[in-house]
Structure 1
Amino acid sequence: MDFGLPKEQGVLKTLPPFGEEVREGRVALTPQGVRELVARGHRVYVERGAGERAGFPDPLYEEAGARLVSREEAFGRGEVVLKVGRPTLEEVVLLRPGATVMGFLHLAVAESGLVEAMAEKGITAIGYELVGTEGRRPVLRAMSEIAGRLAPQIAGRLLEAPWGPGVLLSGLPGIPPADVVVLGAGTLGRAAARAFLGAGASVYVLDRELSALEEAAREARGAVTALTTQSRLERYAAFADVLVGAVAVPGERAPVLLSRYLMARMRPGAVLLDFAIDQGGIAETSRPGIYQEMGITHFCLPNVPALVPRTASHALTATLLPFLLRVEEDPLGVPELRQGAYLLLGQKGGHLE
């Protein structure tokens, strides 16, 4: 089977302390992953420069047995095209009819016309966020773990002066630490809770499921856990220095938990890390980027693991490759990949119905 590996496109405008822009630098397969596919008899076409931002130059892919090609060839030759993000309308044009495209697709919040364009070409679209079995999504879990571990680094910078209120996460003897409220006790929420505790912050975790809170209590000892209610949302958000949005429903738009009314009651200079922005975000004020609105610093950067592209690329390969190595004639012959299908040869699957 022919695999296409294009270079990721896209620039997200940001504010200090992250500079003027953050570029997507992850790649779906490292050279080691390519070597494994080639050893199984597959052909792998890699767009020139695809791995450079993650620290994988073209010669490493050539040594692994890949064929370096143009962008058009990477999309056009691949029976299976392995991306990181969602394809653009321009990229869909480059895909061969009937091809399979894989990536973090989040098609429930895709731009107008994208799903229809893929359907017209008979594309099979598989979202990494859905790949796996019910209750176990290893690719999404790996990226969520990275994002959660990055959360204190991001929040700590955004709390610093001059762009923030000048708050130290850990506090000092006699000076209380920052209060961090985590909405959602899934993989990302638990990872963020552990990381913030390690940074010395006071941590509160809210979720609607008691079983999720029990797991959070085991993993993040020292965090306060509470069932989510509207009154608790209002009370906890009001004192939070950092509010982490880690609520997501696989294949669907994220629930909007933070209204403008609620956010108007938050501390001036507080930080919202909305890690659900890939699925629309959890706040009425959330949109892609890093900005200030209503006195709140919003960090709504899609695909946060792109901040550490080398680590994230290794994690993508480690979790995705076991499924790819089982592909023979049809990716949908692998049940875990079929589970992630939004489109099946252009027909909408259960995640879009």
Structure 2
Amino acid sequence: MVIGVPKEIKTLENRVGLTPAHCADLVKLGHKLLVETKAGEGSGFLDEEYQNAGVSICQAEDVYSGADLVVKVKEPLEKEYSLIKKGQTIFTYFHFASSRQLTEAMIKSGAVCISYETVEKSDRSLPLLVPMSEVAGRMAVQKGANYLEKHNQGRGILLGGVPGVKPANVVIIGAGIVGTNAAKMAAGLGANVTIMDINVARLRYLEDIMPANVYTLYSSQSNVNEAVKTADLIIGAILVPGAKAPILISRDMLKTMKPGTVLVDVAVDQGGCIETCKPTTHENPTYVVDGIVHYCVANMPGAVPFTSTLALTNVTYPYVCQIASKGWQKACRENEELKKGLNVVNGQIVYKKISEAFELPYSEVEHHLS
């Protein structure tokens, strides 16, 4: 199979879909690799390394026109829509439920869209989302601590405090991978941490393993309302796989917060769990609403691309091998995890939560696997 790896064009997105080492392995398996020039440069991988792995270096148009399978990191942007061919397989993060424009563009393209974020194991874990969620959870605390500084319009608070001065209050809404990693980081820096979720079993588990400065709290709306009033840093870490995130912090709630409080919405890829959330970039990461600092970068792990690329490709590579060796239909028939990653196939939505998000027609995935 011909596999293409384009350069990511999202603002300051420096990750890449495959490393030279993975490309070399795919070449050994008999596949042909087309990698866009400078695709790996942001992650520290030079064109020369890809060429030494047996890859053909070319322009974006040649990657898309020549590839049967395109392996990316982020969703295609508008200028890429016309490059995608009918019947071509695109394997990347899509987050369709947050963008009707993207959804309709991929329907129109006739491509086969397999989304990293909905590939799901039998235990309901999301193997291709986990490593980036780990990175984003840890980064959320780093960024939050930075924007709490006064020159960044924050409250002027040191996250861990000092002897004689209380540490910051950190509230994390969502106790999944993002929330757990954020709690570990915030606790390690000495903050007072409250982590909230509606899964009591998960809260009980975290109560056992987390340090003494992490407290668990059931995520009822009244508890959220009260918790944000005394928070210095609030991290939205909600995930509903394949669907739009629910709004848990309304604009009216901002008026109850202390001026200079920092909001980090890691759920921004899925529409955000904060009503005033809008996607930002690493170039212009924050904005202020009612005196509250919002950090809503939609590709947080892109800021640490060497770590993120390695963490991501370690888990995507086995699935790339399956698709490349068997074709998408056979690979999805034989691997239930990969089948759940199918979102749009040949002009039809095959993932129910996406059709529900936009009230668009839904087609059973089984109809497309024969």
Which residue does the alignment assign to 1:233? 224
| Aligned partners of 2:170 and 2:192 also within 8 Å | yes
Q: Deviations over 1:219-259 (max 9, x none)?
A: 42321001111211111000000000000101000000001
Q: Is it true that 1:122 corresponds to 2:122 in the alignment?
A: no
Match of 2:2 in 1: 2
Structure 2 CA distance for aligned equivalents of residues 177 and 53 of structure 1? 36
- Aligned: 1:347 with 2:344: no
1:133-168 deviation line (CA, Å, top 9, x unaligned): 241211100000011111221111101121222100
Equivalent of residue 330 in structure 1, options 327, 331, 334: 327
1:131 counterpart residue number: 119
Q: Does 1:257 align with 2:248?
A: yes
Shift of residue 120, structure 1, vs aligned partner: 2.8
Quote how far apart the aligned CAs of 1:346 are: 2.2
Q: Which moved more, 1:145-154 or 1:183-192?
A: 145-154
Residue in 2 that maps onto 1:269: 260
The letter for the 1-side match of 2:157 is: V
Aligned-pair distance for 1:111?
4.3
1:60 maps onto 2:49 in alignment: yes
One-letter amino acid of the structure 1 residue matched with residue 344 of structure 2 = L
Q: Provide, for residues 300-344 of structure 1, a one-character-per-residue CA deviation record: whole Å limited to 9, x for no partner.
A: 000110110111000111010111222323124142222111112
Deviations 1:263-310 (A, max 9, x none): 210111000010000011111111012111111110000011011011
Greater CA drift, 124-133 or 299-308: 124-133
CA distance in 2, matches of 1:214, 1:344: 41
Structure 2 counterpart of 1:349, which letter? V
The count of residues paired between Structure 1 and Structure 2 equals: 341
In structure 1, what is the Cα distance between the partners aligned to 2:38 and 2:342?
28
* Matching residue's letter, 1:241: D
Matched residues in 2 for 1:218 and 1:139: separation? 27
Q: Does the 8 A contact of 2:86 with 2:346 survive in 1?
A: no
Unaligned runs of 5+ in 1: 12-22
- TM-score, with length taken from structure 1: 0.93
Aligned-pair RMSD on alpha carbons? 1.3
Work out the CA distance in 1 between the residues paired with 2:207 and 2:117: 25
Partner amino acid, structure 1, of 2:277: S
Runs of 4+ in 1 over 3 A off after TM superposition: none
**Residue in structure 1 matched with residue 144 of structure 2 by the alignment:** 155
Contact 1:190 1:219 (C-alpha < 8 Å) held by counterparts: no
- Please point out which of 198, 203, 207 is paired with 1:213: 203
Equivalents in 2 of 1:261, 1:291: separation in Å? 17
Q: 1:34-49 to 2 correspondence within 5 Å? A: 34-49=23-38
Take 2:207 and 2:65, find their aligned partners in 1: how far apart are those partners? 49
Matches within 5 A, 1:166-185: 166-185=156-175
Q: What residue number does 2:13 align with?
A: 24
| Counterpart among 62, 69, 81 of residue 73 in structure 1 | 62
The separation in 2 between residues aligned to 1:129 and 1:215, in whole angstroms, is: 25
C-alpha separation in 2, matches of 1:145 and 1:171 = 25
Contact 1:151/1:195 (CA < 8 Å) preserved in 2?
no
SS in structure 2 at match of 1:233: helix
Q: CA deviation at 1:108?
A: 0.8
Report the secondary structure of 2:35's partner residue: strand
Q: Which residue of 2 aligns with 1:91?
A: 80
Q: Is 2:85–2:110's contact at 8 Å kept on the other side of the alignment? A: no
Q: Is 1:291 aligned with 2:291?
A: no
AA partner of residue 278 (structure 1): D
Query: Shift in Å at residue 195 of structure 1?
Result: 0.6
Contact residue 152 and residue 199 of structure 1 kept, 8 A: no
The runs of 5 or more residues in structure 2 that have no matched partner are: 281-285, 356-370
Equivalence for 1:307: 303
Corresponding position of 2:96 = 107
Residue by residue over 1:60-100, the C-alpha shift from the partner in whole angstroms, topping out at 9 and shown as x without a partner, is: 11111111011101111111111111112331211222001
- Please say if residues 180 and 201 of structure 1, whose CA atoms lie closer than 8 Å, have aligned partners that are also in contact: yes
Deviation (angstroms), 1:131: 1.5
Counterpart position of 1:20? none
The C-alpha deviation readout for 1:46-66, integer Å capped at 9, x for no partner, is 000001111111001111111
Q: Percent identity?
A: 38
The residue identity in structure 1 corresponding to 2:315 is T
| Mean Cα deviation higher: 131-140 or 182-191 | 131-140
TM-score by length of 2: 0.89
